[in-house]
Protein backbone atom coordinates (compact mmCIF):
# COMPACT_ATOMS: atom_id res chain seq x y z
CA UNK A 1 0.00 0.00 0.00
CA UNK A 2 1.10 3.63 -0.44
CA UNK A 3 2.50 5.37 2.63
CA UNK A 4 1.16 8.47 4.37
CA UNK A 5 2.67 10.54 7.20
CA UNK A 6 0.25 12.65 9.23
CA UNK A 7 1.52 15.24 11.70
CA UNK A 8 -0.55 16.11 14.74
CA UNK A 9 -2.16 12.68 14.53
CA UNK A 10 -3.03 12.14 18.20
CA UNK A 11 -6.54 13.59 18.11
CA UNK A 12 -9.10 15.84 16.47
CA UNK A 13 -8.63 16.20 12.73
CA UNK A 14 -5.35 14.25 12.82
CA UNK A 15 -6.93 11.06 14.12
CA UNK A 16 -9.89 11.53 11.75
CA UNK A 17 -7.42 11.71 8.84
CA UNK A 18 -5.77 8.53 10.11
CA UNK A 19 -9.14 6.77 10.30
CA UNK A 20 -10.14 7.63 6.75
CA UNK A 21 -6.74 6.79 5.20
CA UNK A 22 -6.07 3.57 7.13
CA UNK A 23 -7.88 1.31 4.62
CA UNK A 24 -5.80 2.58 1.69
CA UNK A 25 -2.43 3.65 3.16
CA UNK A 26 0.31 2.46 5.49
CA UNK A 27 0.29 5.16 8.15
CA UNK A 28 3.16 6.96 9.86
CA UNK A 29 1.63 8.94 12.74
CA UNK A 30 3.90 11.85 13.60
CA UNK A 31 3.51 13.79 16.81
CA UNK A 32 5.05 14.36 20.19
CA UNK A 33 4.90 11.06 22.14
CA UNK A 34 1.68 10.63 24.11
CA UNK A 35 -0.76 7.96 25.24
CA UNK A 36 -3.32 9.40 22.82
CA UNK A 37 -0.98 8.93 19.87
CA UNK A 38 -0.21 5.39 21.00
CA UNK A 39 -3.92 4.64 21.22
CA UNK A 40 -4.58 5.82 17.66
CA UNK A 41 -1.63 3.80 16.36
CA UNK A 42 -2.69 0.65 18.19
CA UNK A 43 -6.27 0.94 16.96
CA UNK A 44 -5.19 1.31 13.33
CA UNK A 45 -2.05 -0.83 13.33
CA UNK A 46 0.02 2.22 12.44
CA UNK A 47 3.59 3.27 13.26
CA UNK A 48 4.33 6.25 15.50
CA UNK A 49 7.07 8.76 14.66
CA UNK A 50 8.19 11.04 17.52
CA UNK A 51 8.34 14.49 15.97
CA UNK A 52 8.20 17.89 17.67
CA UNK A 53 7.77 20.59 15.04
CA UNK A 54 9.35 23.09 17.41
CA UNK A 55 12.62 21.09 17.21
CA UNK A 56 13.53 20.84 13.51
CA UNK A 57 17.10 19.89 14.35
CA UNK A 58 15.84 16.42 15.28
CA UNK A 59 14.06 15.72 12.00
CA UNK A 60 16.98 14.32 10.01
CA UNK A 61 17.58 11.39 12.36
CA UNK A 62 13.88 10.68 12.79
CA UNK A 63 12.95 10.48 9.10
CA UNK A 64 16.22 8.97 7.83
CA UNK A 65 14.68 5.47 7.38
CA UNK A 66 12.00 6.80 4.98
CA UNK A 67 13.25 6.44 1.39
CA UNK A 68 9.85 6.79 -0.32
CA UNK A 69 6.78 8.63 0.90
CA UNK A 70 3.56 8.87 -1.08
CA UNK A 71 1.68 11.37 1.08
CA UNK A 72 2.75 13.95 3.66
CA UNK A 73 -0.09 15.67 5.53
CA UNK A 74 0.83 18.75 7.56
CA UNK A 75 -1.92 18.88 10.14
CA UNK A 76 -0.15 19.90 13.37
CA UNK A 77 -0.36 23.50 14.45
CA UNK A 78 -0.83 25.90 17.34
CA UNK A 79 -3.09 28.91 17.85
CA UNK A 80 -3.01 31.63 20.47
CA UNK A 81 -6.31 33.53 20.55
CA UNK A 82 -5.74 37.25 20.66
CA UNK A 83 -6.06 40.40 18.62
CA UNK A 84 -2.94 42.20 17.46
CA UNK A 85 -2.75 44.52 20.48
CA UNK A 86 -3.24 41.59 22.86
CA UNK A 87 -0.58 39.37 21.30
CA UNK A 88 2.99 38.96 22.47
CA UNK A 89 6.22 38.50 20.55
CA UNK A 90 6.70 35.13 22.25
CA UNK A 91 3.33 33.96 20.91
CA UNK A 92 4.26 35.10 17.41
CA UNK A 93 7.60 33.35 17.67
CA UNK A 94 6.02 30.09 18.87
CA UNK A 95 3.28 30.19 16.23
CA UNK A 96 5.70 30.74 13.37
CA UNK A 97 8.15 28.14 14.72
CA UNK A 98 5.54 25.36 14.64
CA UNK A 99 3.09 26.39 11.91
CA UNK A 100 5.66 27.61 9.37
CA UNK A 101 9.31 26.86 10.15
CA UNK A 102 8.70 23.35 11.49
CA UNK A 103 6.45 22.52 8.57
CA UNK A 104 8.98 23.80 6.04
CA UNK A 105 11.83 21.94 7.75
CA UNK A 106 9.98 18.61 7.78
CA UNK A 107 9.05 19.02 4.12
CA UNK A 108 12.67 19.67 3.19
CA UNK A 109 13.86 16.58 5.07
CA UNK A 110 11.27 14.40 3.36
CA UNK A 111 11.59 15.96 -0.10
CA UNK A 112 13.87 13.21 -1.51
CA UNK A 113 11.42 10.53 -0.34
CA UNK A 114 8.48 12.46 -1.80
CA UNK A 115 10.27 12.92 -5.12
CA UNK A 116 11.04 9.19 -5.27
CA UNK A 117 7.33 8.42 -4.98
CA UNK A 118 6.09 11.36 -7.09
CA UNK A 119 4.21 12.08 -3.90
CA UNK A 120 1.54 14.38 -2.57
CA UNK A 121 1.96 17.09 0.09
CA UNK A 122 -1.21 18.25 1.84
CA UNK A 123 -1.30 21.37 4.00
CA UNK A 124 -4.21 21.58 6.42
CA UNK A 125 -4.47 25.34 6.33
CA UNK A 126 -7.53 27.35 7.44
CA UNK A 127 -10.08 29.85 6.30
CA UNK A 128 -7.74 32.22 8.15
CA UNK A 129 -5.21 31.54 5.40
CA UNK A 130 -7.52 33.28 2.93
CA UNK A 131 -9.22 35.97 5.02
CA UNK A 132 -7.93 37.36 8.31
CA UNK A 133 -9.80 36.12 11.36
CA UNK A 134 -10.46 38.60 14.18
CA UNK A 135 -8.83 37.48 17.40
CA UNK A 136 -6.31 35.19 15.69
CA UNK A 137 -3.55 37.56 14.65
CA UNK A 138 -0.45 35.35 14.78
CA UNK A 139 -2.35 32.27 13.60
CA UNK A 140 -3.73 34.13 10.58
CA UNK A 141 -0.28 35.39 9.61
CA UNK A 142 1.17 31.89 9.90
CA UNK A 143 -1.54 30.42 7.69
CA UNK A 144 -0.98 33.07 5.01
CA UNK A 145 2.72 32.14 5.10
CA UNK A 146 1.86 28.43 4.89
CA UNK A 147 -0.29 29.06 1.83
CA UNK A 148 2.63 30.88 0.20
CA UNK A 149 4.97 27.98 0.95
CA UNK A 150 2.49 25.51 -0.55
CA UNK A 151 2.23 27.61 -3.71
CA UNK A 152 6.03 27.83 -3.96
CA UNK A 153 6.45 24.10 -3.44
CA UNK A 154 3.92 23.40 -6.18
CA UNK A 155 5.72 25.74 -8.58
CA UNK A 156 9.20 24.44 -7.79
CA UNK A 157 8.45 20.70 -7.58
CA UNK A 158 6.29 19.84 -10.61
CA UNK A 159 6.59 16.09 -9.97
CA UNK A 160 4.62 16.50 -6.72
CA UNK A 161 0.96 17.14 -6.11
CA UNK A 162 0.43 19.90 -3.53
CA UNK A 163 -2.95 20.62 -1.94
CA UNK A 164 -3.94 23.39 0.47
CA UNK A 165 -7.06 22.61 2.51
CA UNK A 166 -8.86 25.66 3.90
CA UNK A 167 -11.63 24.53 6.24
CA UNK A 168 -13.84 26.79 8.25
CA UNK A 169 -14.07 26.25 11.97
CA UNK A 170 -13.86 22.59 13.01
CA UNK A 171 -15.27 20.98 16.16
CA UNK A 172 -11.95 20.31 17.95
CA UNK A 173 -10.30 21.12 21.27
CA UNK A 174 -8.62 24.11 19.62
CA UNK A 175 -12.06 25.39 18.69
CA UNK A 176 -13.25 25.06 22.28
CA UNK A 177 -10.39 27.31 23.39
CA UNK A 178 -11.26 29.91 20.76
CA UNK A 179 -14.95 29.90 21.69
CA UNK A 180 -14.01 30.33 25.34
CA UNK A 181 -11.83 33.32 24.37
CA UNK A 182 -14.84 34.77 22.56
CA UNK A 183 -16.94 34.37 25.71
CA UNK A 184 -19.49 32.04 24.13
CA UNK A 185 -20.83 28.58 24.92
CA UNK A 186 -19.28 25.82 22.82
CA UNK A 187 -21.69 23.89 20.58
CA UNK A 188 -19.92 21.44 18.24
CA UNK A 189 -22.97 21.33 15.96
CA UNK A 190 -22.13 24.87 14.80
CA UNK A 191 -18.87 23.71 13.22
CA UNK A 192 -17.54 21.27 10.65
CA UNK A 193 -16.87 17.80 11.97
CA UNK A 194 -13.29 16.50 11.76
CA UNK A 195 -14.62 13.49 9.85
CA UNK A 196 -16.07 15.70 7.10
CA UNK A 197 -12.81 17.58 6.57
CA UNK A 198 -10.85 14.32 6.68
CA UNK A 199 -13.05 12.70 4.05
CA UNK A 200 -12.77 15.62 1.64
CA UNK A 201 -8.99 15.66 2.13
CA UNK A 202 -8.83 11.92 1.44
CA UNK A 203 -10.87 12.45 -1.75
CA UNK A 204 -8.14 14.80 -3.02
CA UNK A 205 -5.40 12.35 -2.05
CA UNK A 206 -7.18 9.44 -3.74
CA UNK A 207 -8.02 11.42 -6.89
CA UNK A 208 -6.92 9.74 -10.15
CA UNK A 209 -3.24 10.36 -10.95
CA UNK A 210 -4.05 12.75 -13.81
CA UNK A 211 -5.90 15.06 -11.38
CA UNK A 212 -4.17 17.64 -9.21
CA UNK A 213 -6.50 19.14 -6.60
CA UNK A 214 -4.66 22.31 -5.67
CA UNK A 215 -7.01 23.91 -3.18
CA UNK A 216 -10.05 22.87 -1.14
CA UNK A 217 -12.23 25.46 0.59
CA UNK A 218 -14.77 24.05 3.05
CA UNK A 219 -17.31 25.95 5.14
CA UNK A 220 -20.05 24.81 7.51
CA UNK A 221 -23.51 24.88 5.98
d(CA 23, CA 153): 28
CA angle 87, 150, 170 (to 5 degrees): 55
User: Which residues are part of the catalytic machinery?
Assistant: 139
Contact 6, 21 (CB under 8 A): yes
d(CA 73, CA 7): 6
The alpha carbons of the chain give a radius of gyration, in whole angstroms, of: 16
Amino acid sequence: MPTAMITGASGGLGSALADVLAPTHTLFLASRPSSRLDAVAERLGATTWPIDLADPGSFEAVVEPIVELDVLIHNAGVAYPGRVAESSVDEWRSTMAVNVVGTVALTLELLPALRSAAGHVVFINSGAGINASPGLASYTASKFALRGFADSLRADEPSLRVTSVHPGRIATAMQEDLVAYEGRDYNPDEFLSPQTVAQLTADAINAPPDAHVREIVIRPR
